[in-house]
Amino acid sequence: MRYDIPAPMLAKAAASVPDPTKKPMLFEPKWDGFRGLVAWDGETLEIGSRGAKPLTRYFPELVEALPGILPGPCLLDGEIVVATGPDGAQRLDWEALSQRIHPAASRVAKLAVETPAMFIAFDLLAEGDEDLQQHPFRERRARLERMLAGARHPLHLTRTTEDADLARRWLAEFEGAGLDGVVAKPLDDPYAPGKRTLIKIKHARTADVVALGYRVHKSGSGVGSLLVGLYDDSGALRQVGGVAAWSDAMRRKLVDELDPLVERDAGGEAVMGEGERSRFSGAKDVSFVRLRPELVLEVRYDQLEGARFRHTVQFERWRPDRDARSCTFDQLDTVAGYDLADVLE
């Protein structure tokens, strides 16, 4: 048999853990990794992704290990993660995981040994020749638990609870292990490929940051994204992320409003900076228009990864009352460490 890998079921954001008495819910930790759908037909193992790019070639250690662990053909939904750190203080490592998306097979093989991935399973879409997508989640979860009762590393079954208070505790504690929230899943719903029927609850925090440049929108008109920074202990201004999702009207308006802050050369031309590249940017133009570091804005963010915001941040308001030099890393929330081993079951 051969499984058709569907688009994964998605989640919409909520500000708080929902009340399960209104609609039966199962809560899970929200793993910060690559969404993966593992299809094992008894002969070949494939890993589909949230996008169009298959992940199979990037995780040879999973392709090798999982067939020997799975009891039979199946289609699993879950998350691929990488953990680093000493025993007793391990946490998810997004940077190490993202390095796996590399065109060179030799590089992928090297990293598969140095920073091996694991697969966290949280749904069962097919077992043998039986398609389970129309079955309620409570049934799919029960069958997943039976299937993976004897599972071993690098395959793990995500923990769950129906206790909303415990889910709130997970939201607070598990961030210390690199997780980025909690997911609520309706127990009586079928699997809905590509639809946002799940609920994700992530950390929401604010910070005052300095505007240090902007990229022109892909349309060629207006501001596409505003690059922001914070001052470190040495007094250096470090780029920490970007603000996007402006309306068309706001993009055009921002160009005019930011113009007085644009750094210019002796000839009056805007000074361009070269943005940070990643393995996801490819040949994309990452240059930006430099701004004098004077404008302060408040943004919403969910998580810090090293010295950068993990995701694109959201604009909250301008802060003309703040001095740019006061925007330092010290204002950011610190998170107590939590060993990843205590999250895994």
Residues counted in the chain: 345
Q: Take residue 8 and report the two structure tokens written for it.
A: 């994964």
Among 5-9, 162-166, 247-251, 335-339, where is mean pLDDT lowest?
335-339
Provide the residue type at 25 as one letter: M
Looking up tokens 């690098």, which residue turns up? Answer: 154
Contact 297, 243 (CB under 8 A): yes
336 lies in a domain? no
Contact 105, 56 (CB under 8 A): no
Looking up tokens 């953990």, which residue turns up? Answer: 83
Give the per-residue pLDDT at 56: 97
233 with 127, same domain: the answer is no
- pLDDT above 90 covers a percentage of the chain that reads 61
Contact 74, 127 (CB under 8 A): yes
pLDDT digits (tens, 9 = 90+) for 12-61: 888 899 999 889 999 999 998 899 999 999 999 999 988 767 999 999 99
174 with 248, same domain: the answer is no
Q: Which domain holds residue 316?
A: 205-331
Q: What is the DSSP string of 311-327?
A: S-BEEEEE-TTS-GGG-
**Cα three-residue angle 195-16-250, rounded to 5 degrees:** 70
Provide the residue type at 145 as one letter: E
For position 101, which CATH number holds? 3.30.470.30
16 with 119, same domain: the answer is yes
Q: Which of 144, 171, 202 is the last residue of a domain?
A: 202
Q: What's the chain's average pLDDT?
A: 90
**Confidence band, pLDDT 50/70/90 cuts, at residue 202:** confident
198 with 211, same domain: the answer is no
Give the per-residue pLDDT at 277: 45
Q: What is the DSSP string of 48-92?
A: EESSSS--GGG-HHHHHHHHHHSSS-EEEEEEEEEEESSTTS-EE
Query: How crowded is the C-beta side of 258, counted as CA atoms within 13 Å?
Result: 33
- pLDDT above 70 covers a percentage of the chain that reads 95
147 lies in a domain? yes
**Confidence band, pLDDT 50/70/90 cuts, at residue 287:** confident
Q: Which of 186, 202, 218 is the last residue of a domain?
A: 202
Give the per-residue pLDDT at 275: 61
**Confidence band, pLDDT 50/70/90 cuts, at residue 345:** low
127 with 225, same domain: the answer is no
Residue 191 has pLDDT above 50, yes or no: yes
Residue 340 has pLDDT above 80, yes or no: yes
For position 277, which CATH number holds? 2.40.50.140
224 with 274, same domain: the answer is yes
Sign of CA dihedral 121, 124, 127, 131: negative
Which H helix or E strand runs over 170? helix 164-173
User: Which positions are annotated as active-site residues?
Assistant: 30
119 with 167, same domain: the answer is yes
Q: Which of 202, 235, 256 is the last residue of a domain?
A: 202
Q: Which residues contact 15 (CB under 8 A, 6 or more apart)?
A: 201, 204
Residue 286 has pLDDT above 80, yes or no: no
232 with 182, same domain: the answer is no
Residue 278 has pLDDT above 80, yes or no: no
Give the per-residue pLDDT at 267: 85
185 with 278, same domain: the answer is no
Contact 161, 27 (CB under 8 A): yes
Looking up tokens 């919409």, which residue turns up? Answer: 12
From CA 108, how far away is CA 260, in angstroms rounded?
46
DSSP state, residue 9: P
Give the per-residue pLDDT at 176: 86
152 with 167, same domain: the answer is yes
185 with 228, same domain: the answer is no
Q: Mean pLDDT over residues 261-286, rounded?
A: 70
Q: What is the DSSP string of 232-249?
A: -TTS-EEEEEEE----HH
Is the omega angle on the peptide bond into residue 154 within 30 degrees of 0, that is, cis? Answer: yes
Residue 280 has pLDDT above 50, yes or no: no
- Strand bridging mode 34-40 / 45-49: antiparallel
Highest mean pLDDT among 141-150, 196-205, 261-270: 141-150
Bridge partners of residue 334, in order along the sequence? none
Domain count, the chain: 2
191 lies in a domain? yes
340 lies in a domain? no
Helix axes 60-69, 105-114, angle to 10 degrees: 60
296 lies in a domain? yes
Q: What are phi and psi of 179, to 5 degrees?
A: -80, 160
Give the per-residue pLDDT at 180: 84
**Confidence band, pLDDT 50/70/90 cuts, at residue 112:** very high
Q: Mean pLDDT over residues 226-243, rounded?
A: 93
216 with 298, same domain: the answer is yes
Give the per-residue pLDDT at 8: 93
